Amino acid sequence: MSNDIVIRGLGRHVPEKILTNADFEAIVDTSDEWITTRTGIKERHVVSEGEYNSDLAVGAARMALKNAGMEAEELTHIIMGTITADHVVPSGACVVQEKLGLKHRVAYDISAACSGFIFGLENARAILALHPEAKVLVIGVEVLTHRTNFEDRSTCVLFGDGAGAAILTQGGEGPKLLDVKLSTDGSLANLLTVSGGGSAATYKLGDTVGPEYFIQMQGREIFKHAVRSMTGICNQILEDNNLTNKDVDVLIPHQANWRIIDAVGRKFEIPAEQVYSNVQRFGNTSAASVPLALSEADETGFLKEGNLVMLTAFGGGFTWASALLQY
């Protein structure tokens, strides 16, 4: 068996319900024109009552299994990048394991905000190095709209719900995962927080939740760091692999905001038509954004045999990451 790490299948799942910019005009003081010009977002999918993070994750996992021609039974590990699991305990991955009808697997969550899926890919590489027979399911999933303050116009228009998934093995058919790079900087933590619900805050029965329970962020500062960190870590992974930006055929960045995607593409000097974007239809789905875009780009033929594909993400923490795929 070759010791290449291969993506055997990709999947994605979003809720049916859609919130358009026109819907937001009725909720907060905003306009389709402001949201479109500042973010590129036109609509986002949001969960309905009774629809959970684990349901989206299982939907994406089942599609990835079908795409890989595998049965759930074959999976040995489930890694889930998420900051919005159904519960604090149990972990989201344990709930997904149960919903997939599996027992006695290794299942755990990674908290790396929007970079969670790529952090999961690095975990999968480590698992496969130690256990060459493993079949690892990596999911990026988020229900951020349950941690969004719908009275705060500067954040509520940005986020959506969704999931994406990949199954990785050593050897087999599919794009090769050539390398992954991760980075974090806790000194930037205050730029993006959801502090309520953490153990630093003491709650007692009957307390009502305050704004700290929802996403709070300094948009302008995040914008600058996002562009700088994603461009930097993309250059780093290329340098470490003796490649340059001219070798990259397709860039799939975290889908936070069209202007960020565009700025990263420009700094990276990759033509706009080689940068994949679906932020218009999904908004920022955090850990789900990269695998959701990757699964779409793979299925629609945007990604072609022979392509070198760069994934990159950034998120609260701060965390940022890049990964190289050889199609």
Ligand X SMILES: CC(C)(COP(=O)(O)OP(=O)(O)OC[C@H]1O[C@@H](n2cnc3c(N)ncnc32)[C@H](O)[C@@H]1OP(=O)(O)O)[C@@H](O)C(=O)NCCC(=O)NCCS
Mark 234-273 with x for binding to ligand X (rule: CB under 6 A) and - for no binding: ----------------------xx----------------
Q: How far is the CB of 121 from ligand X (least distance, A)?
A: 18
When binding is defined by CB under 6 A, the residue of 76, 111, 154, 241 that contacts ligand X is: 154
Whether 131 is a known active-site residue: answer no
Judge contact between 57 and 141, C-beta under 8 A.
yes
When binding is defined by CB under 6 A, the residue of 17, 25, 38, 212 that contacts ligand X is: 38
Distance CA 48, CA 54 (A): 13
Q: How far is the CB of 20 from ligand X (least distance, A)?
A: 14
Residue 285 makes contact with ligand X by CB under 6 A: no
When binding is defined by CB under 6 A, the residue of 131, 146, 153, 281 that contacts ligand X is: 153
Judge contact between 234 and 322, C-beta under 8 A.
yes
- Catalytic one among 123, 149, 257, 284? 284
- First-residue to last-residue Cα distance in the chain: 19
- Catalytic one among 94, 114, 156, 234? 114
Q: How far is the CB of 76 from ligand X (least distance, A)?
A: 31
Whether 114 is a known active-site residue: answer yes
Residue 21 makes contact with ligand X by CB under 6 A: no
Per DSSP, which regions of the chain are E strands? 5-13, 18-20, 43-45, 77-81, 106-110, 136-143, 161-170, 176-184, 192-193, 216-217, 250-253, 308-315, 319-326
Q: Which is nearer to ligand X, 168 or 194 (CB)?
A: 194
Q: Which is nearer to ligand X, 9 or 140 (CB)?
A: 140
Q: Which is nearer to ligand X, 17 or 259 (CB)?
A: 259
**DSSP-derived secondary structure for 174-210:** S-EEEEEEEEE-GGGGGGEE--TTSTTS---TTPPP-
Q: Which residue has the tokens 């305050």?
A: 210
Distance CA 164, CA 13 (A): 6
Residue 115 makes contact with ligand X by CB under 6 A: no
Distance CA 190, CA 317 (A): 8
Taking only Cα atoms into account, the Rg of the chain, rounded to an integer number of angstroms, comes to: 19
Sign for the pseudo-dihedral over CA of 203, 209, 211, 216: positive
Judge contact between 173 and 57, C-beta under 8 A.
no
Residue 228 makes contact with ligand X by CB under 6 A: no
Number of residues that bind ligand X (CB under 6 A): 19
Residue 284 makes contact with ligand X by CB under 6 A: yes
Sign for the pseudo-dihedral over CA of 27, 31, 35, 40: positive
Mark 202-221 with x for binding to ligand X (rule: CB under 6 A) and - for no binding: ---------------x-xx-
Q: Which residues bind ligand X (CB under 6 A)?
A: 30, 34-35, 38-39, 114, 153-154, 157, 192, 217, 219-220, 222-223, 256-257, 284, 315
Catalytic amino acids? 114, 254, 284
